[in-house]
A and B are shown apart, each in its own frame.
Chain A
Amino acid sequence: MQTATLPTPVTQPRSAPPEPVGTGVRSFSLTINGAEYELNVAPWTTLLDALREYLDLTGTKKGCDHGQCGACTVLVDGKRINSCLTLAVMHEDHQITTIEGLADAQTGDLHPVQQAFIDHDAFQCGYCTPGQICSAVGMINEGRVKTDADIRELMSGNICRCGAYPHIVDAIRDVMQLNPTAQ
């Protein structure tokens, strides 16, 4: 008759890291289009999701959510960035401008780039347009554009699935008062 031997119990060290503290909802405020907004969101909320899902600022679009299409472009302290690749909590002390904030708040007049997109029929479905316009405003601020080729290169982070690129270039060139034959 065999006697069964039980395996010696081994006390395994817990391999899981300690439960992190501070992973829960954080309260902070963001300054968007000149107004202060209170937010209560988890730290893994992207700026894009904060705008769209928590603040009802749905002008900024989610395209690829991977920084490849530019539909989510907003301006942070005047500089264009992809709002899908940054966390809302990282922008507590920044001035954020979205497509909703470009028109003149007093008169309601459209921003010159917005007006130029209408004048030049620079979109078809319109989904990429808020990102295109914010990107163009940021690019004009950067002051690096002299030619159409510069516009195409420096707008390459904004994809237009409808292929409205020629009219987008026309609209931006018009706002910048560039010579269309400049190479």
Chain B
Amino acid sequence: MKPFQYLRPTGVDAAVRDLTAQPDAAKFIAGGTNLIDLMKEHVEQPTTLVDINRLPLATVEELEDGGLRLGALVTNADTAYHPLVEQRYPLLSKAILAGASAQLRNMATNGGNLFQRTRCYYFYDTSMPCNKRHSGPSQGPAGCGALHGYNRIHAILGTESADGNVHCIATHPSDMCVALAALEAVVRVSGPQGERTIPIADFHRLPGDTPQHDNTLRPGELVTAIDLPANGFSHYNSYLKLRDRASYAFALVSVAAALELERSDASGDQISAARLAMGGVAHKPWRKTEAEALLVGQRPTPDVFGRAADALLDGAQGYGHNTFKIELAKRAIVRALSQAAKLEPTE
């Protein structure tokens, strides 16, 4: 690790001030499970760390509208095992528990999970070209090593920039964020200009021609909480994660599926609401409301699920080693929806 100054404010405003004083050189640290690793590799080289662990952001609170507010500093483990999350947002609980290891979930925080950086091997290796890492010679050359390199874990959707070029095919690594996308969570932030809220769909971004930016936060802003809407789709949901080993690995493809079913007539159920989001396939959790609209009003059948999968994967493009993900993703969507509808068991 490169030397840094260590600050430990106790209030949100002080933390924002500490960061704003050096917006390019300072970083917040909470659990630190990703940041410290990146600092060891010199991918991140902050000259100031602002330790926010003493800020009063470690509570889970019920909201008047029936939703739930998850403090930014509540650990992933405490969130996944929180009785209200388990009861009302089992999709979120399952997604969190599908990620990392028990040790990491005990340290990693909800706020920090939003800021996980890609596990692209080229991003992690400062001797390799990387447009996401590149911000100066100290962080290695520009370019994308993955595009024509070993790209088994990389993105198949949303990679093209407006000019038709591809600058980065990294994926967002979080499981939690895929469930948050399906649940339409809202991120609360505090910054030099005050507080604001950001729908999770607008929080992360596609790489375009500026892949160094993972999200839409402004300089100095601090995530204080994540709000979950009242509807947690607690009856019909599934988080399906496909990976190279059974536990403790990042997703090749993951699917958060959530449904509401109504008995339409004696012959069966009809889908009245649907949410579908994917991980491991793009620079952000991948969701398209058009795909969900194809499910609403339909009976839950494999054919219907397949059409939704095709819509969600429309425009998917492989880059060689990751081309298998397109078919894998389609099957994963159909299976996750079947699990959510309780047509097939979860393992």
Residues of A within 8 A of B (CB): 17, 20-23, 26, 42-44, 46, 65-67, 70, 73, 79-82, 85-87, 89-90, 135, 138-139, 142, 144, 152-158
Contact = CB atoms under 8 A, between A and B. Distances in A.
Interface string B245-277: 011100000000000000000000000000000
A21 B202 CA distance: 37
Nearest to B24: A17
Interface in B39-79: 39-40, 47-49, 51, 53, 77
Given A20-B4, A23-B4, A85-B107, A80 B33 contact: no
B102 A135 contact: yes
Contacts of B216: none
B40 A66 contact: yes
B7 interface: yes
Nearest to B46: A20
Nearest to A155: B102
Given A81-B106, A85-B36, A90-B53, A20 B5 contact: yes
B217 interface: no
Given A20-B4, A67-B33, A157-B100, 10 more contacts: A17-B24, A23-B4, A44-B1, A81-B106, A85-B37, A86-B33, A87-B29, A153-B246, A156-B247, A157-B102
Contacts, number: 99
B127 interface: no
Contacts of B36: 46, 85-87
Contacts of B37: 66-67, 85
Interface in B67-109: 77, 81, 100-104, 106-107
B39 to A, nearest CB: 8
Contacts of B3: 23, 42, 44
B129 interface: no
Interface of B: 1-7, 22, 24-25, 29, 31-33, 36-37, 39-40, 47-49, 51, 53, 77, 81, 100-104, 106-107, 246-248
A23 B81 contact: no
Contacts of B40: 65-66
Given A20-B4, A90-B32, A138-B102, A156 B81 contact: no
A21 B5 CA distance: 6
A80 B5 contact: no
Contacts of A65: 40
Contacts of A26: 6
B103 A70 contact: yes
Contacts of A157: 100-104, 248
A29 to B, nearest CB: 15
B6 A89 contact: yes
22 contacts: A17-B22, A20-B4, A20-B5, A20-B47, A20-B48, A23-B3, A43-B4, A44-B1, A44-B2, A67-B101, A70-B101, A79-B106, A85-B33, A85-B104, A90-B53, A138-B106, A144-B81, A153-B246, A155-B102, A156-B102, A156-B247, A157-B100
Contacts of B51: 89-90
